[in-house]
Chain A
């Protein structure tokens, strides 16, 4: 079946601009996660959705970052007033329920964001 997809695969923007990154989880997965990966580092947790609601947004670095999942499926990560330090790969993952520590998270290929 189809895995997690993310669009766009690459995004180049200018400092100060607004960007939206989209994630399509595996069909039927109620749990969705966003991570950010800087060059040479492991992914860092940003936010976790359980259905439509953000159950944990403690990893969002500041109020320029916001994510939504209005219908409990597709999610959009929104970054306002982008800064050069926001350049990274933004990864999305999903899992069936998010309720078990033994549940595998399935990752998408990521969106590579470059802020000039």
Chain B
């Protein structure tokens, strides 16, 4: 699976959009970009995934660049409960998720 690079930490103000970047420059054509998050003392929670088109669901939006070498997870109106570690994963094997160290997002009041 392709390696991902994420900033170690970020912060944003409550109510503002949180934009979390991820670089995956070695991604292959059949590899999906997945985002999970982990709130303190809980198991990882699925957020969203995509192949090449932008995706949106009730939690977030995923913007994938045309060359697929990077992506951005957008939380449109961050709340304090969005404080968590966010993991960007490039996935080809159906059963194995390979997590990096993620981005620690702090939402400030």
For the complex, count residues of B whose C-beta is within 8 A of A: 22
Collect the chain A residues with CB atoms within 8 Å of residue B42's CB. Answer: 109-110
Q: Which of B15-23, B61-69, B89-97 binds A?
A: B89-97
Chain B binding surface SS class: loop
Contact A105 B92 (CB under 8 A): no
Complex partner residue of B44 from A31, A43, A48, A55, CB under 8 angstroms: A43
Collect the chain B residues with CB atoms within 8 Å of residue A33's CB. Answer: 95, 97
CA distance A33 to B43 in the complex (A): 13
Contact A101 B93 (CB under 8 A): yes
Complex partner residue of A106 from B32, B46, B92, CB under 8 angstroms: B46
Q: Which of A13-21, A63-71, A72-80, A91-99 binds B?
A: A91-99
CA distance A35 to B44 in the complex (A): 11
Complex partner residue of B102 from A42, A48, A101, A108, CB under 8 angstroms: A42
* A residues lining the B interface (CB < 8 Å): 4, 31, 33, 35, 40-45, 48, 55-56, 91, 93, 98-110
* B residues lining the A interface (CB < 8 Å): 32, 41-46, 49, 85, 87, 91-102
